[in-house]
Amino acid sequence: MTRRLLPMVILCLVAAIGRSAETADPRIENWHAWRGPLANGVAPNADPPTTWNETTNVKWKVPLPGEGSATPIVWNDRVFALAAARTDRAVETLPPPKAEPPGGYLTQRPKNYYRFVVMCFDRRTGKLVWQHVAAEAIPHEGRHATNTYASASPTTDGRRLYVSFGSRGIFAYDLDGAPLWQRDLGDVITRFGWGEGTSPVVHDGRLIVNGDHEGDSFLVVLDAATGETLWRADRDEVTSWATPLVVPHAGRTQLITPATRRITSYDLDTGEILWECGGLTTNVIPCPVVYGDLVICLSGHQRSAGCAVPLDSQGDVTGTDRIAWRLDRGTPYVPSPLLYGSLLYFTQSNRAILTCLDPAGGEPLAEGVRLPELKTLYASPVGAAGRVYFTSREGTTLVIKNQAELDVVALNRLDEGIDASPALVDREIFLRSQRHLYCIAEQ
């Protein structure tokens, strides 16, 4: 069977199995991680609203105590969000940094303490159910003007909530807010001091944390119940902000980590390297997606790069004919791609210029398409009910049909900027703006 036919067969089998099989996994009905239940931006059973503004279809809106660009996550009747709140407590002078990135820091380290806050809200009312200050500290380095100190999205397996505040620590709570464990994995030194952002990933009782930085980069897999290290791999890498992807394939579970020097696939059980592939740009941020037997990785800092690598690869496949297809234009810098059925969507750099391509062969179905009324994007596109949602940094969300040809469904504006990706659950959309958390639903 050819590689092109295999994904279509898989899609047909999924359709034949039906919705009942999908709902057997409770993640399908929730948004448990920043790229959603399938790690590709799609909520297969959701049917969220298409129209809203500050006075229409806002079920509730609650203030947040500080900055953040972490996507809120949803599990049943609870919504979890993060914030970093700058306090008035400050020091007059700072000690010299313990280490500096190559080229030095281009950002200024703060003198104020920040509170790193974890919040749980009632999904029906927006009422605060519980809140914890996970840590209170002066960050050891600054951050890019468009980054925040709460940019890594939380995740849950339905038993525990897992939160990464990066160098401030990894924290686990039960869903009622009781602290369970925390780990300090040490300070990371990001490129030019632009700050941290890779989100933790939970899978089958294990919590995965990517620590690519300008120091001793690492990948660590923790026991999700205890926080104890199961295995740790040293990595010859520089700073990336990419969240790893877990992919069961052919009896093994691959842990795929895109980065500047290599895309690397590890065996999740053992830490063994299964395959590697170079060719991305610096500052890798987008999360990979899987289509059939291909994993697709994109990056877009200063130039465009993308490739589709077969999951059954072995060893170093850089520059070989094992790579199914390559891309050298139109790829995203900050936003991740959206894989919706047999269509792959992404925007050029951080601009509202859309490409839609065939993920099997990499052929563009539409490219250079200007998304109306949007300017810049950090949030990643999401999809549900045959629609795709693009949210801009200016707080505008464009809704289009899930098809290669641009067909606008609606355009929606809120009063604050948004960098966090939306979360889609059932008939609701959850949006984290600069200062508020919104629940959007038909009213």
| C-alpha dihedral sign at 231, 149, 383, 370 | negative
pLDDT of 30 reads 98
Least confident of 10-19, 216-225, 414-423: 10-19
Confidence band (pLDDT; 50, 70, 90) for 14? very low
Query: Buried b / exposed e across 394-419, counting CB within 10 Å, b at 16+?
Result: ebbbbbbebebeeeeeebbebeebbb
Comparing CA positions, the residue from 109, 84, 115 lying closest to residue 95 is 109
pLDDT of 62 reads 98
- When pLDDT is averaged across residues 106-113 and rounded to a whole number, the result is 97
Domain boundaries, the chain: 5-441
pLDDT digits (tens, 9 = 90+) for 182-207: 999 999 999 999 999 999 999 999 99
- When pLDDT is averaged across residues 396-410 and rounded to a whole number, the result is 98
pLDDT of 241 reads 97
Confidence band (pLDDT; 50, 70, 90) for 155? very high
Cβ(359)–Cβ(291) below 8 Å: yes
The more confident residue out of 15 and 422 is 422
Distance of CA 147 to CAs 68, 281, 331, 423, 427, Å?
A: 8, 20, 20, 20, 30
- When pLDDT is averaged across residues 99-118 and rounded to a whole number, the result is 96
The torsion angle over the Cα atoms of residues 187, 190, 193 and 199, rounded to 10 degrees, is: -80
Cβ(217)–Cβ(205) below 8 Å: no
- Alpha-carbon distance of 35 to 335, in angstroms, equals 11
Confidence band (pLDDT; 50, 70, 90) for 342? very high
Share of the chain above pLDDT 90, in %: 94
What's 5-441's CATH class?
mainly beta
Query: Which helix or strand (DSSP H or E) is residue 13 part of?
Result: helix 5-17
Residue 16 has pLDDT above 60, yes or no: no
Confidence band (pLDDT; 50, 70, 90) for 24? confident
pTM (2 decimals)? 0.94
Residue 163 has pLDDT above 70, yes or no: yes
Confidence band (pLDDT; 50, 70, 90) for 3? very low
User: What is residue 331's three-state secondary structure?
Assistant: coil
User: What is residue 191's three-state secondary structure?
Assistant: helix
Residue 338 has pLDDT above 50, yes or no: yes
> Side by side, which strands form the sheet with 217-223?
201-203, 206-211, 217-223, 229-235
pLDDT digits (tens, 9 = 90+) for 280-326: 999 999 999 999 999 999 999 999 999 999 999 999 999 999 999 99
